[in-house]
Amino acid sequence: MPLVDSERVKAGPGCDPMAGRIAFEPLKAAWWAAHGLGGLAALLFFPSWGGFAVFILLTGLTICAGHSVGMHRLLIHRAFSTPLWLERLLVWLGTLVGMAGPMGMIRAHDMRDWHQRQASCPPHPSHDAGFFRDAYWQLMCSYRLKHPPRLEIEPEVARDPVYRFIERTWMAQQLPLAVLLFLIGGWSWLLWGICLRVWVSLTMHWMVGHYCHRSGHQGWHIAGLPVQGYNLPGWSLVTFGENWHGNHHAFPHSARLGVEKGQLDPGYWFIRTLEALGLATGVKLPASEPPRDGLTPIATP
C-alpha cells in the first residue's frame, strides 16, 4: 500500500521543527535566474505568436497533466490509480515543470506538510514572511533542520528504475524537449518553450503557495494547527485547480480540489477524462476517507 503525506516522515527523538536555519542554495538560485534571463530574451529578442503558442500549450500540459495531476494528486497523494506507464508519463511531465524530480517533489511536499502539522511551524515552510523575503526564501533557499526527521519513500517509487533515472537527471530532462523545439522553431521556440515556461512555472508555483497560506476564502478550519490553507477564487483556469488549497488542507486525499459549488477544477476534469477512458481507477473524493481530526466547516455569509 503506497504511503501518503506525513506517513512517509518519521520523526525521532530530538527532532525539533523549529531548530533549523534558512540556507542559500546557489544551484537552485542559478536555475531560477538562468531561466528568467532566457525568458527575458524570448520577450525582448524573439517575440513571436508561434513561441507564445508553444509557451501556452507546454505550460498547460506540464502544469495540469504533469504537476497538478501526475506529481501532486497521483504520486504524492495517491488520490487515484493509473497503469504504471501512464503514471510514469505524467510524473515525467511534472518533472518538466522544473521544480524537482519525483523523489525531490515528494521530499519537498511531505516535509512542508509535516512542518505545517506540528504545534509550531517555522516561517519558511509556513510562508510566514513578506512577499519579497518569501520569494527569496522559496526560490533560492532551503530550510535545514538541525535534527531532521527520516523520510521513507515507498519502495515501489524509491526503487523504480525510471523514477531513479529521472531523479538523477531531472534538470537534464529539459534537453530532449529543448532540442526538439530548436529544430522546429529555432531559438524563439526554445526560449519561449523552455526558459520562459520554467521561470513562470516556478514563480507562479511559489506565488500560489505564498497567498494560499496567508489569506483568502476559507471553507474549512483545522483546529490546533498553526498553518491553515486558503482558497484563491478566480484562479482556477490558471492553476488548474491548485488554487483551492484550503480545500486541499481539509481533504488531502481527494482527487477533486474544487469541492464546493462553482469551484472549477480542470485537473479533476482531466482525471475524470482518464477515468472515462478506463485509464484511472479508485478516484477518491472528500467522503472517501474519514475527516481530519479537528476539521470543521466555516459558515459563509
**Could you tell me how far CA 29 lies from the centroid of its own chain?**
18
Does residue 3 register a pLDDT over 60? no
Does residue 263 register a pLDDT over 50? yes
Long-range contacts of 8-13 (CB under 8 A, 24+ apart): 8/106, 8/110, 8/151, 8/152, 8/153, 8/154, 9/110, 9/111, 9/113, 9/114, 9/149, 9/150, 9/151, 9/152, 10/149, 10/150, 10/151, 10/152, 11/114, 11/149, 11/150, 12/147, 12/149, 12/150
Does residue 240 register a pLDDT over 90? yes
Q: What average pLDDT does this structure show over 12-23?
A: 94
Does residue 300 register a pLDDT over 90? no
Q: How sure is the predictor about 143, in pLDDT bands with cuts at 50, 70 and 90?
A: very high
Q: What average pLDDT does this structure show over 264-270?
A: 98
pLDDT attached to residue 7: 87
Q: What average pLDDT does this structure show over 124-133?
A: 96
pLDDT of 148-176, one tens digit each?
A: 999 999 999 999 999 999 999 999 999 99
pLDDT of 31-79, one tens digit each?
A: 999 999 999 999 999 999 999 999 999 999 999 999 999 999 999 999 9
* pTM for this prediction: 0.95
Q: How sure is the predictor about 103, in pLDDT bands with cuts at 50, 70 and 90?
A: very high
Distance between CA atoms of residues 278 and 258, nearest Å: 23
Around 150, how many Cα atoms within 13 Å sit in the side-chain half-sphere? Answer: 6
Average pLDDT, the chain: 96
Supply the Cα-derived Rg of the chain in whole angstroms.
Answer: 19
Question: In the chain, pLDDT over 70 holds for what percent of residues?
Answer: 97
Q: How sure is the predictor about 1, in pLDDT bands with cuts at 50, 70 and 90?
A: very low
Does residue 141 register a pLDDT over 50? yes
pLDDT of 204-220, one tens digit each?
A: 999 999 999 999 999 99
> What residues have CB less than 8 Å from 53, skipping those under 6 apart?
none
Long-range contacts of 274-279 (CB under 8 A, 24+ apart): 274/80, 274/82, 274/86, 275/80, 279/82, 279/83, 279/86
Distance between CA atoms of residues 241 and 243, nearest Å: 5
pLDDT attached to residue 82: 98
Q: What average pLDDT does this structure show over 268-291?
A: 97
Q: What average pLDDT does this structure show over 131-155?
A: 97
